[in-house]
Chain A
Amino acid sequence: MQLVGAIITLIGSIFLFLGALGVFRMPDVFNRIQAGTKATTLGTMLFLIGITIGHTDVVPTLKIIILILFILFTNPLSSHALARAAHYIKTPLAEETVRDDLAKDEDRKEP
C-alpha cells in the first residue's frame, strides 16, 4: 500500500516539475500562469492523495480532503486575479499572440 502511495506522490511531483518548467519556458505572463495553475493543482492533489494512501488513520485523511478542496477552489481563483491584474496594467503579450478581444473591448469604451 505504501508503494502505491509513493508512486502517486512521484507522479504528482513530476507534474509539479513540468509546471515549473512551463513557467520557465513560456514566453509571456498569461502562458506562464496557464502552465503554473494546471500543473500545480493536479500535482499537489496527487501529492496529497499519495501521502494519504500511506496513512491508515482517519483524521489526517479528512484533513487532507479539506486541503484538496481548498486548493481546488482557490488555485484557479488566484490565477484569475493575477491574470486580470496583469491585463489591467497592460502587461505586453507574447509575439505569437493572434488576438486580444479584451483590449479591443476596453479601447472602445475610452474616448
Chain B
Amino acid sequence: MKNIKSFVFLFIFLYIFWLLLNPWNWQALLAGAVIVALISGIFRKYGEILAQFKLNPKSILYSLIYIFVFLKELIKSNLDVAQRVLSPKLPITPGIVKVKTNLNSDFAKTILANSITLTPGTLSVDLKGKFLYIHWINVTTEGIEATSRAIVGKFEKYLEVMFD
C-alpha cells in the first residue's frame, strides 16, 4: 500500500512537469504517461517523501491557504528588506536563535525551512532533529518558546494538517 501511494504521488508529480514542458496533443500525452510510469516505477523509493502528504479534503484546502499565506509573507519580507536597506542607519540587531518544531515528516520540515528563509528577517541555518537554528535579523524575543511562536507558529498550524 505504501509503495503504491509513493508510486502514484511520484507519477502525478512528474507528469505535471511533463505537461508543463510538452505540447498538449494525444501522442505527447501518451508517450509521457508511459515514460513517467517507467521512471516512477524504478525510482518509487524517492516517492516516499512525496507520499508523506496526507490525501484528504482538509489537507488540500490547507495547502491552498498555505500558498496564499506564504505569498503574503514573501511580499512582506521584500518590503522589510527594502525598508532596512534604504534606511541610512541600517537598523539591524542580528542573532542566531534556536527554535523547536513539532513536525515529524521530512517533507514538512523542508517546506518549513524554505518558508522561514523567505519570511521577513529570518534565514534557516541548520536543522538538528526537532530544532531549527535561525539567523534572525531583528532579535526581539528571549527563550525557545516565545521565539518558536514568533517564527514557526504561523506556518506550523497548516503544515501539521497537511503532512503525516
Interfacial residues, chain A to chain B (CB-CB below 8 A): 15, 18-19, 21-22, 25-28, 30-31, 33-35, 37-39, 41-43, 59, 62-63, 65-66, 73, 76-77, 79-80, 83-84, 87, 93-94, 96-103, 105
Interface size class of B (residues with CB under 8 A): 35 or more
Instruction: Give complex CA distance A87, B122 in Å.
Output: 15
Residues A100 and B96 in contact in the complex (CB < 8 Å), given A30-B135, A83-B135: yes
Query: What residues on A are CB-neighbors of B114 within 8 Å?
Result: 73, 76-77, 80
CB < 8 Å A-B pair total: 126
B52 at the interface (CB under 8 A from A): no
B145 at the interface (CB under 8 A from A): no
Task: Encode contact with A along B74-93: 1 for CB under 8 Å, 0 otherwise.
Answer: 11011011101110001011
Query: What residues on A are CB-neighbors of B77 within 8 Å?
Result: 38
Asked whether B81 lies within 8 Å of A35 as measured between CB atoms, the reply is yes
Asked whether A80 lies within 8 Å of B117 as measured between CB atoms, the reply is yes
Task: Encode contact with A along B7-19: 1 for CB under 8 Å, 0 otherwise.
Answer: 0000000000101
